[in-house]
Amino acid sequence: MACFPVPDRYGAGRVRTHYTEPGRQVVTYGTGRPDELIALFLFRDGPGPVPRAERLDRLRDVFAGAGWITPRLLADAPEPNEIFMDAMTQIELPAWHRDRVALIGDACGCLTLVSAQGVSMAMAGAYVLAEELAAADHRTAFARYERRLRPEVVRRQRNARLFAGALVPATRTGLAAQNLMSRFVMRDAFAPLLRRRFGADSILPA
């Protein structure tokens, strides 16, 4: 994936838009700042680490000939140094704490952007850790924190992995199937299912 901010010259406003071709997808969404969008590029061809200076060229290669406003977004790209590019990678660690150090957020349980819950789970981790530290010594608190949070992170990682394969279909047939599915899934009747799978329910007792 790669992303960077661009001025909203496209009238996209606060609407989130996905444009998909086999093997590549462009997404735009508002940042909350006036007239600013994030242009997000997802593609199946894992880039590995790409030096900052080469990122824009890499994107131009991968998205050559792509439709919609893709060429304009690439033309509006900022300095290569300001382009974020990385492989989408979940982090799974056998232990989240050692001695006096405990990890929270992406450092121990990165969900990736597919789950769209990385921020809330990072904050949840901080909250739960603080709660446990207020109640016990650090050894006990770290163990309780991990016991409470890990199952929630594992569940969200599993859901994200299931969905990741379908995020950017590799073929025209896959894309047609995704479009068809989207038409059904976006109906109200499917809302409870979507909420169960991707919903950011509170992990705290009600």
Q: Rounded CA gap, 20 and 169, in Å?
A: 8
Is there a contact between 90 and 161 (Cβ–Cβ < 8 Å)? Answer: yes
C-beta of 69 vs 124, nearer to ligand FAD:
124
87: its two tokens: 């492989």
* Residue 17 or 140 having the CB closest to ligand FAD: 17
Residue pointed to by tokens 């997404």: 27
User: To the nearest whole angstrom, how small is the minimum distance from the Cβ of residue 72 to ligand FAD?
Assistant: 20
Q: How far is the CB of 34 from ligand FAD (least distance, A)?
A: 20
Residues within the interface to ligand FAD (CB under 6 A) = 1, 3, 40, 105-107, 113, 116-120, 122
Task: Between 107 and 194, name the residue whose CB sits nearer to ligand FAD.
Answer: 107
Nearer to ligand FAD, 17 or 173 (CB): 17
By beta-carbon proximity to ligand FAD, the closer residue of 69 and 110 is 110
Which are the contacts of 198, defined by CB distance < 8 A and separation ≥ 6?
Answer: 115, 116, 117, 159, 163
120 burial level (CB within 10 Å; 0-12, 13-18, 19+): middle
- Alpha helices, DSSP H only, in the chain? 55-62, 70-75, 106-109, 118-135, 138-167, 172-185, 191-198
Q: Which of 105, 85, 87 is nearest to 96 (CA)?
A: 105
Least distance (Å) from ligand FAD to the CB of residue 77?
15
Closest approach of ligand FAD to the CB of residue 49, in Å? 15
Closest CB 86 distance from ligand FAD, rounded Å: 7
Distance of CA 1 to the CA centre of its chain: 9
